Structure 1
Amino acid sequence: MAQAEVGIEAATESMTDRTILDTARKVFETYGVRRANIEDIAARAGVSRSTIYRRFPTKDDLFERVVRREGELFFATLDQATTGRNPQQAVVEAFALGVRLVQDSPLYSRIVESEPELFGLFSRSDVFPIRRFADGIAHTLRRCGADLPDADLANIADILLRVALGIIVFPTDRLDISDQDAVRDYAARYLVPIIGDVS
């Protein structure tokens, strides 16, 4: 999910799509993903159900697009934060930003607090595409100078993402995720060694 892809996605959204997606995000944040329904989203967005269904045939399709928007914002921010950094520094930045995203995003906070099992379901479906996010991490590491075969880099990115998600979704008392210095130190000590010397 490179920065160019972010621009393409944003450019293809119509005003109606943006309204639907913004409203859906608020409904998912308020009621949770499972309890949210298309009728409520349509009413709050001021559109008909058929308008939503024409654009997003199922609630899963709608939720996937909301999640993808969040991911696009994350990777745009990560691209800026890792400019001029080496792969090891990029791992620290990615982990710190990921932790902050979950804390700052009402949507992800809601999922972590009331529906954490959805992350497991999403990782095996297109709704929360782990591979897409892992590919974004691999792209960042490559851009920062990682010099590994594509398959190895993809597997390392996948491992880093799954470890980070596990820590975020199932917090440990060994890490205070509200302390950014502690988060960065944790990433430097325990996640950076996973990638080793890749530059």
Structure 2
Amino acid sequence: MAQHVPGTAERVGGTRKVRNTESPQEQEDAILTAARKEFEENGIRKTGVDDVAQRAGVSRSTLYRRFPNKEALLMGVAERVYLDGMRMLEAATVGYGPQDSVVEAFVAGAQMVNDDPLIRRMMLDERDALQGITKSVTGLFIEIVTGRIMQTLRGAGAQMPDDDLHAVTEILVRLVISFLDTPPLDEGRQSPESVREFAQRYLAPMVR
């Protein structure tokens, strides 16, 4: 006889059995994990809240208690995605001074947006179609990334006053978004080497 593992979702007759033994935090984690997979695989527009509930193995009422609508669900996923991304950016700048940190963060950020299907959907591919939702998500991204990169640059030795450093950092973050949203027509300028050269020549000198 197969052993039942409490707190897991099982398939019974081709459908998911609803989770009923997990803590609220475990259920929320399962919901956000399922939502990310649905958004990545099927797109943000096409994913419904019911799709997420089924994949997570929770009831609709359980999902709605934690995330009252699709925007709240997307914002919850986005915050996790961006915080994970920030840890990657911070790791890329370890051991560098402030200007070199700008270069490494810019290159790593560009690569992250290109490689992560959900970040690309939220910030580029589905931004216009989703309007208010993705506008909020992009605003969240700018806020989180600006604050964290500012801290990283300060830790790397940046001497600028806080207001100036914050302004410069936000400009850099917005430049990354614009650069990726409307890439150069010359594909050669999209290579990692060209991106690095661009950051070294034009972006790094903004920080001191």
After TM superposition, the score normalised by the length of structure 1 is 0.82
Say whether 1:150 aligns with 2:162: yes
Letter in 2 for 1:65: G
CA distance in structure 2 between the partners assigned to 1:91 and 1:128 by the alignment: 21
1:88 to 83, 99, 108: 99
CA distance in structure 2 between the partners assigned to 1:103 and 1:32 by the alignment: 16
| Greater displacement, 102-111 / 137-146 | 102-111
Select the structure with the greater relative contact order (CA < 8 A; seq sep ≥ 6).
1
Letter in 2 for 1:145: G
CA distance in structure 2 between the partners assigned to 1:100 and 1:178 by the alignment: 10
Cα deviation, 1:83-141, whole Å, max 9, x if unaligned, reads 22111111111111111111221112334563142798568536641222211111111
Distance 1:147 1:124, change over 3 A: farther
Name the counterpart of 2:203. 191
Distance 1:121 1:146, change over 3 A: farther
CA distance in structure 2 between the partners assigned to 1:17 and 1:152 by the alignment: 39
Q: CA deviation at 1:190?
A: 1.8
Q: CA deviation at 1:161?
A: 0.3
CA distance in structure 2 between the partners assigned to 1:164 and 1:118 by the alignment: 21
Distance 1:75 1:191, change over 3 A: same
- 4+ residue segments displaced more than 6 Å: none
Name the counterpart of 1:8. none
Give secondary structure in 2 for the equivalent of 1:99.
helix
Name the counterpart of 2:183. 171
| Greater displacement, 22-31 / 120-129 | 120-129
Name the counterpart of 2:115. 104
Identity %: 38
Distance 1:85 1:123, change over 3 A: farther
2:54 to 8, 28, 43: 43
For 1:108-119, what aligned pairs fall within 5 Å after superposition? 108-111=119-122, 114-117=125-128
Structure 2 unaligned regions, length at least 5: 1-23
Contact 2:122–2:138 (Cα < 8 Å) also in 1:
no
RMSD in angstroms over aligned alpha carbons? 2.4
Paired residues, number: 184
- Structure having the higher Rg: 2
CA distance in structure 1 between the partners assigned to 2:197 and 2:130 by the alignment: 25
Structure 1 unaligned regions, length at least 5: 1-12
Contact 2:86–2:148 (Cα < 8 Å) also in 1:
yes
